[in-house]
C-alpha cells in the first residue's frame, strides 16, 4: 500500500539492459497479461503528482514506461472532500466487455475518508475516463484502499476486493455488469492475518486469496494466503509465503501473473532493499518478480526472493 517517496533522478537514466531484480522503483504493483505483453500498474515513485502510469514488458525483465494513464487532478470528485493533499495509490485493472476498467485508491484516510474510484478505457494504456463518482468510500472502521477486481473465467462474474490498514477489514462485492457499480456486497469471514492488499487468482479450480500482513514500513510486512472453492470463500488459511530475509525487508502488496504460453506463475511485489531490521524504513521501495511454485496438493511453496538477473519468461510474439 501507498506512501510515495522520491528517488534520485540519476536512477531514471539507467539503460534497460541492466534491468533485473529489482525491476523498477515503485510499490503496490498490479501485474496482468494483455495479448502478448505483461503490464504493471504501480504506485508511482518518481513524481509528487497524483498520477498513475502503465509499464509494458515482453519478458518480465525489461520494462518500458508507456506513460500516464490517469491524473487525479483531472478527476473532479477527488477534490470535493477539501483535503489538503491526495495520494494516488495501489491501482488495479480488469478487462471485460471489451473494455479496460482501472480501479484506484485516493488517500489518505485522514482528515477525510479514503475513496476508491474507477475509470474506463479501450486499451491497457487508456486513455481512461473516470466514471464520475467514487465507487467506495471509507469510514466506520474501514479504509477504502487497495482495490482488486477478479473476473472469474468459470462464469465471467467479476468480484471486487478492497480494504486495509485502518481496521484491517476486507470487503467483497459482486460487480454489476457495467463494472463501475456494485450488484451486491457479500458477507465474508475475515481472512486470518489480513491487513491489506488482497489479490485473487485461480488455478486448477482452486481459488487463492492472498494479501499483505503487518506494517507497511517494517520487517513484519509479508504475504499470506488462503484457499477456497469459490471467489468468496470459505477461506482455509495456508500460511505465509513471502517474508523478510537477510537482504530485503517488508515484501508485500503483490499480484500473481501467469505466462499463458508456458503456464509458469510469478509473484510481483514491492520490498525494501535493506538488511536493517529496525523500522521505520525510509526512501523508495522497489518492485521485484519471483517465480511461484505449487506442490502436489496445490499449495504455494515459500517464495525465495532473488537479486541480480531475476526471472525471465517471454510470452512469445
Mind telling me the catalytic residues? Answer: 28, 196
Q: Cα(272)–Cα(222) distance, rounded to whole angstroms? A: 12
Q: Cα(168)–Cα(159) distance, rounded to whole angstroms? A: 19
Sign of CA dihedral 209, 210, 213, 216: negative
> 65 vs 209, 245, 302, CA distance in Å?
29, 30, 30
The DSSP element (H or E) to which 196 belongs, if any, is strand 196-203
Q: Cα(159)–Cα(257) distance, rounded to whole angstroms? A: 17
- Looking only at the bridges linking them, the beta strands covering 249-258 and 265-272 are antiparallel
Give yes or no for a contact between 285 and 56, defined as CB atoms under 8 angstroms apart. no
Give yes or no for a contact between 252 and 197, defined as CB atoms under 8 angstroms apart. yes
Scanning the structure block, which residue is given the C-alpha cell 515459500? 302
CA atoms within 13 A on the CB side of 186: 19
Nearest partner of 14 among 6, 5, 23, judged by Cα = 23
Amino acid at each position: 500500500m501507498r506512501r510515495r517517496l522520491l528517488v534520485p533522478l540519476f536512477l531514471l537514466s539507467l539503460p534497460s539492459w541492466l534491468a533485473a531484480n529489482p525491476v523498477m522503483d515503485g510499490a503496490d504493483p498490479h501485474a496482468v497479461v494483455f495479448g502478448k505483453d505483461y503490464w504493471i500498474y504501480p504506485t508511482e515513485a518518481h513524481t509528487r503528482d497524483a498520477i498513475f502510469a502503465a509499464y509494458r514488458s515482453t519478458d518480465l525483465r525489461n520494462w518500458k514506461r508507456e506513460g500516464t494513464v490517469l491524473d487525479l487532478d483531472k478527476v473532479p470528485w477527488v477534490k470535493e472532500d477539501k483535503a489538503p493533499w491526495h495520494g494516488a495509490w495501489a491501482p488495479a485493472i480488469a478487462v471485460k466487455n471489451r473494455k479496460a476498467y482501472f480501479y484506484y485508491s485516493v488517500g489518505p484516510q485522514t482528515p477525510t475518508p479514503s475513496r476508491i474510484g474507477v475509470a474506463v478505457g479501450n486499451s491497457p494504456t487508456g486513455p481512461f475516463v473516470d466514471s464520475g463518482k467514487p465507487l467506495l468510500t471509507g469510514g466506520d472502521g474501514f479504509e477504502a484502499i487497495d482495490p482488486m477486481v477478479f473476473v472469474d473465467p468459470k462464469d465471467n462474474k467479476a468480484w471486487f476486493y478492497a480494504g486495509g490498514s485502518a481496521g484491517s477489514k476486507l470487503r467483497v462485492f459482486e460487480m454489476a455488469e457495467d463494472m463501475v457499480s456494485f450488484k451486491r456486497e457479500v458477507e465474508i469471514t475475515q481472512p486470518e492475518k489480513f491487513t491489506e492488499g488482497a489479490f485473487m487468482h485461480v488455478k486448477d479450480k482452486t481459488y487463492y486469496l492472498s494479501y499483505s500482513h503487518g506494517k507497511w514500513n517494517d520487517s513484519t510486512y509479508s504475504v499470506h494466503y488462503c484457499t477456497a472453492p469459490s471467489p468468496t470463500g470459505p477461506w482455509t488459511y495456508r500460511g505465509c509465503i513471502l517474508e523478510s530475509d537477510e537482504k530485503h525487508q517488508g515484501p508485500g502488496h503483490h499480484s500473481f501473473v501467469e505466462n499463458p504460453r508456458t503456464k509458469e506463475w510469478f509473484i510481483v511485489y514491492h520490498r525494501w532493499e535493506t538488511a536493517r531490521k529496525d523500522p521505520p524504513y525510509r526512501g523508495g521501495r522497489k518492485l521485484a518478480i519471483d517465480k511461484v511454485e505449487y506442490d502436489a496438493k496445490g499449495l504455494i511453496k515459500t517464495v525465495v526472493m532473488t537479486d541480480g538477473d531475476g526471472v525471465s519468461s517471454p510470452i512469445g510474439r
